[in-house]
Amino acid sequence: MKLNSDLEEIRSQFPILERVLPNGKKLIYLDNAATSQKPECVINAMSDFYSRYNSNVHRAVHSLSGEATEAFELARENVAKWFGLPDEGKVIFTSGTTHALNLCAFGWARVNLKPGDAIVLTEMEHHSNIVPWQMIAEEKNLELRWVDVNQETFELDFEDYKSKIIGAKLACIIHTSNVLGTRNPVEIMVEMAHNAGAKIILDCAQAAAHERLDMDSINADFLAVTSHKMCGPTGVGALLISSDVFEEMEPVEGGGDMILEVFKEYSTYQENEHKFEAGTPRIAEAIGWSAAIKWMETLDIEEMHRHTLKLAKNASDGLKRIPGITVYGDHSKEDVSGVVSFLHETLHAEDIARLLDSMGIAVRTGHHCAQPLMRRLGVKATNRASFYFYNTLKESEAFVNAIKMIVEKFA
């Protein structure tokens, strides 16, 4: 599918893109790194579940439950296929990336790391890939080693990673930055972690939205992914696991569905993914995510990403020509996502966002859940416009013009 000729067709799949805001302005949605919009097929798949076969899974023999169970487990298979999991790989459904990272911390690291062991993080991490490790480090007396970010290239200091991974037991690395757009060289970082005898988990919340991740070739032990940034519903994501580390994990939550047998004295657990999915799982959400994946399969993801990058680069180049604006990120490279973080030297980031909102343009403002990175950049907050494949060049231009106008008028 060629994107440019079909952009209107793709946009027509997203009812919200027609939205007119209460102030009468047509929506220009540039907050895709926070959550993407959902195509009609995803909304319909969830509505279809609730109107035709809503039922709990794995529990009853009645037909409805059979249909729901089948759709839910098919969703798991579709997720596994989309992310290129090897046959022995596992998909544990979680509420999103944050939950997946916590599951790795409390289900794997808590069990397998010993006092004095070291975990490697980077200054580029999202709080979701920081706080769980701080909690585990405190509980188990572990060392956290931080890899620097270079403020000029907006890349990880690779030499720093090289030296800090030596002797570490686990690396927790952001695949693609939600602030800078930088895509880290994760394939090499995985190899280096394994050569050093460390396991590695990648935070793929952003990456999964922009590229077809293949767990088999990335070869990481764990990937944390989320549905809601890749056209699927909120409330579901997954911890994707290569086989051998799965055997080393212990459940974090106890309850129904994760057990084999329960006695007064003790309980025995399921052997498969269900062991980590206590209680009624995210049935409608998993079905919705699966519909998003099935839809994305019909699109040319690489072509769509090139389109997204073109819009981001147009915005970044345009912003750089406006006096007083600094852009955090290098959009001349290919290895970036659709985010453009920027700041004006005197105008307050929040004021800029509010003025943009009055023109119908939605962007993010704040620390983007990455305060250590903000400190490295020497700022408290930035404005962030984040593009996705359904955005248009016209929207990117309208955004730059809006900033130009705001700066001329208010700075």
Report the catalytic residues.
369
Closer CB to ligand PLP, 174 or 192, in the complex: 174
- Cα separation, 200 vs 172, in Å, equals 6
First to last CA, the chain: 44
Binding to ligand PLP by CB under 6 A, coded x per residue (else -) over 109-138, reads: -----------------x-x----------
CB of 159 to ligand PLP, least distance (A): 23
- Cα separation, 336 vs 269, in Å, equals 42
- Out of 78, 226, 382, 396, the only residue in the binding site for ligand PLP (CB under 6 A) is 226
- Cα separation, 102 vs 242, in Å, equals 17
405 strand-pairing partners: none
Closer CB to ligand PLP, 122 or 226, in the complex: 226
Q: Which two tokens stand for residue 265?
A: 């004295």
- In the bound state, the residue with its beta carbon closest to ligand PLP is 96
Closer CB to ligand PLP, 237 or 251, in the complex: 237
Only segment of 90-98, 145-153, 212-220, 308-316 that touches ligand PLP (CB under 6 A): 90-98
Closer CB to ligand PLP, 97 or 316, in the complex: 97
Closer CB to ligand PLP, 99 or 307, in the complex: 99
- Out of 181, 233, 237, 360, the only residue in the binding site for ligand PLP (CB under 6 A) is 237
Binding to ligand PLP by CB under 6 A, coded x per residue (else -) over 348-387, reads: ----------------------------------------
Q: Determine contact, residues 237/94, Cβ cutoff 8 Å.
A: yes
Residue 203 phi, psi dihedral angles, 5° rounding: -85, 105
Q: Is 32 in the site for ligand PLP (CB under 6 A)?
A: no
Closer CB to ligand PLP, 189 or 322, in the complex: 189
Helices (H) and strands (E) in the chain, counts: 16, 15
Q: Determine contact, residues 178/329, Cβ cutoff 8 Å.
A: no
Q: Is 205 in the site for ligand PLP (CB under 6 A)?
A: yes
Q: Is 36 in the site for ligand PLP (CB under 6 A)?
A: no
Only segment of 93-101, 241-249, 359-367, 376-384 that touches ligand PLP (CB under 6 A): 93-101
- Out of 98, 122, 184, 290, the only residue in the binding site for ligand PLP (CB under 6 A) is 98
CB atoms closer than 10 angstroms to residue 388: 26
Scan residues 164-183 and list those touching ligand PLP (CB under 6 A).
174, 178
- Cα separation, 52 vs 102, in Å, equals 34
Only segment of 135-143, 202-210, 259-267, 316-324 that touches ligand PLP (CB under 6 A): 202-210
Only segment of 96-104, 182-190, 288-296, 327-335 that touches ligand PLP (CB under 6 A): 96-104
- Cα separation, 384 vs 375, in Å, equals 16
Scan residues 206-225 and list those touching ligand PLP (CB under 6 A).
206
Closer CB to ligand PLP, 134 or 392, in the complex: 134
**7 Cβ contact partners less than 8 Å away, ≥ 6 residues apart:** 307, 390, 392
Q: Which two tokens stand for residue 63?
A: 């037909």
CB atoms closer than 10 angstroms to residue 135: 15
Cβ burial of 2 (10 Å; 0-12, 13-18, 19+) is exposed
Only segment of 4-12, 94-102, 132-140, 164-172 that touches ligand PLP (CB under 6 A): 94-102
Q: Parallel, antiparallel, or unpaired for β 364-366 and 90-94?
A: unpaired
311 strand-pairing partners: none
307 strand-pairing partners: none
Closer CB to ligand PLP, 78 or 98, in the complex: 98
- Cα separation, 345 vs 306, in Å, equals 31
CB of 343 to ligand PLP, least distance (A): 19
Q: Is 282 in the site for ligand PLP (CB under 6 A)?
A: no
Q: Is 203 in the site for ligand PLP (CB under 6 A)?
A: yes
- Out of 39, 79, 93, 96, the only residue in the binding site for ligand PLP (CB under 6 A) is 96
Q: Determine contact, residues 92/277, Cβ cutoff 8 Å.
A: yes
Task: Fill in the DSSP letter of residue 174.
Answer: E
- Cα separation, 74 vs 86, in Å, equals 16
The CA distances from residue 92 to 79, 115, 181, 275, in Å, are 10, 27, 27, 9
Contacts with ligand PLP by CB under 6 A lie at: 96-98, 126, 128, 174, 178, 203, 205-206, 226, 237
